[in-house]
Structure 1
Amino acid sequence: MHTMWKGSISFGLVNIPVKLHAAIEDKDIKFRSLHKKCHTPIKYEKVCPNCEMEISNDEIVKAYEYTKGKYVVIEEEDFAKLDKEMEDRAVEILDFVKITDIDPIYFNRSYYLSPNDGGVKAYALLRKALQETEKVGIAKIMIRSKEQLAVIRVYDNTLVMETIHYPDEVRKANDVPNVPSVNEVLKKELDTAILLIDQLTSQFEPEKYKDEYRESVLTLIEAKRTGDETVRQETKDKPNNVMDLMAALQASIDRTKPEKLEQKEGKTIKKRKTVTRTKINA
């Protein structure tokens, strides 16, 4: 499993060297955009609309738009300085709380934590302590130039770090429009709804849930592939330099033909006039 980050977890005087691994695998089906006519992949070029020209990555800078049309440019060395100040910080557990105190809306992304060299004993100690107390740790970590708030918990005998949103990143539920504030529900309707919920209540078994749409798309793709319903990108023959040279030479010859013909016809007419005059003089 690929290591994304190396560092340590600390709580009190305990320090645990760890490695970070992505726990989630993106299973989305990726599609390419092709030109319908020739099935060539479409390019998405970076163009400056003001200069009306394509630009390269080294001509692009990052900036914060503090008001409409006005920006503060942040140079790469500015980011490098900030990253350097933060990179040596350990994942410090700030608090221990019950996981039921955290609403699922805060959870973002999951990572597995494995012990690094010399960290096996301390890793096992933290895992056991979390299991016995039924608590999770609240910590901070720097990932890809962003300070993340995180939860450290136990999952299937492995420490897992779940990044969570900061409170100011979660929009207020009160801002959602058209939400009824008063429960005007008949008791008979409520009893029926509760009965239905009870009948559908079971143990959570994640293996029984599948992404049926993704499986249908994959089945469709395979059916088209095996049924020879595939397309190929049209390719143009690359011009041969020798042929290009010959074509250029031939074009030059063709271009000069009318001029030479005119010059030749002019000389012939002039010669005929001279002969005619000679005969007259004779």
Structure 2
Amino acid sequence: MHTMWKGTISFGLVNIPVKMHAATENKDIKLRNLHKECKTPIKYEKTCPNCDKEVNNDDIVKAYEYAKNKFVVLDDEELENLKKEQNDKAVEIMDFVKLDEIDPIYFEKSYYLSPNDGGAKSYSLLRSALEETGKIGIAKMMIRSKEQLAVIRIYENTLVVETIHYPDEVRDVKDVPNVPAEDTNAEKELETAKMLIDQLSASFEPDKYQDEYRTALMELIEAKKEGEEVTTSTEQPKPDNVTNLMDALEESLNRAQKDKKGKTKRKPAAQTKEKKKVAK
């Protein structure tokens, strides 16, 4: 697993040399843009609209636009010095809190932590302490030139860094338009909705959720590679003609109950064979 960051995690006087690895990966299928006529990949060139000419990386500087068409230019040395100043600091856990105190809206990206040379014992110590107390650590760290707020927690048997948004990065819910201020649901509608939720409740099993679009796209690509004739249906399933909220809830509840009964009736083959043996 590729190491993307090395550093030290500390709490109190305990220092843990660690390596950081990406815990997730983007499996989106990337499609290239080709020239329709000759099937050549399209290039996207960097040009200056004022000078009307192409520019290369050496001709580009970074700047902050503080007002319309007004910039503060920052050179590479200044940015590198700031970055080095932050990278040289150990990642210090500032607070320990309960995980359920943080709303999921704050969470951003996950990284695995592994102990670096000489860090196995202190790594194990922090893992055990977090597990025994049921707490997670809150820390700041530099990742890819950005100071990140992060939590350090346990996932299975491994320490995980979970980057989280700063409070000012989460937009105010008051700015969301058309949110009803009060609930105006009829009691029967609410009870039926709760029954539907109960019927559809289950334990979270991540393996049962698949990216069906990605799978279908890869099948299409593989079929085209093999030279097969491919036809794609454009007909979409028609929704039931249900316009009343209560009718929709009751119909959904009926379907959920039928699905649940169907799953209950289907017994594992091994269990059926066992019953046959007993009957003999």
TM-score when scaled to structure 1?
A: 0.80
* Structure 1 SS opposite 2:181: coil
- 2:160 paired residue number: 160
Partners of 1:211 and 1:138 in 2: CA distance? 33
Percent of aligned pairs sharing the same letter:
69
Structure-to-structure mapping, 1:194-273, within 5 angstroms: 194-227=194-227
Are 1:52 and 2:52 counterparts? yes
Q: Report the number of matched residues.
A: 230
Deviations 1:79-123 (A, max 9, x none): 011112111111110101111010001000000000011110110
Aligned-residue offset at 1:228: 6.0
- 1:40 paired residue number: 40
* Structure 1 SS opposite 2:161: strand
- 2:255 paired residue number: none
Aligned-residue offset at 1:156: 1.1
- 1:144 paired residue number: 144
- 2:174 paired residue number: 174
Are 1:81 and 2:81 counterparts? yes
Unpaired segments ≥5 residues, structure 2: 230-280
Moved segments of 4+, more than 6 Å: none
Equivalent position amino acid for 1:86 in 2: Q
- 1:252 paired residue number: none
CA-based RMSD of the aligned residues comes to: 1.2
- 1:98 paired residue number: 98
Deviations 1:192-237 (A, max 9, x none): 11111111111111111100011010011011111268xxxxxxxx
Partners of 2:187 and 2:178 in 1: CA distance? 23
Partners of 2:177 and 2:218 in 1: CA distance? 38
Equivalent position amino acid for 2:222 in 1: E
Structure-to-structure mapping, 1:57-76, within 5 angstroms: 57-76=57-76
- 1:117 paired residue number: 117
Aligned-residue offset at 1:34: 0.3
Unpaired segments ≥5 residues, structure 1: 230-282
- 1:233 paired residue number: none
Partners of 1:68 and 1:83 in 2: CA distance? 27
Partners of 1:173 and 1:47 in 2: CA distance? 40
Partners of 1:145 and 1:73 in 2: CA distance? 17
Partners of 1:84 and 1:97 in 2: CA distance? 29
Please identify the structure whose Cα radius of gyration is greater: 1
- 2:233 paired residue number: none
Partners of 1:224 and 1:110 in 2: CA distance? 36
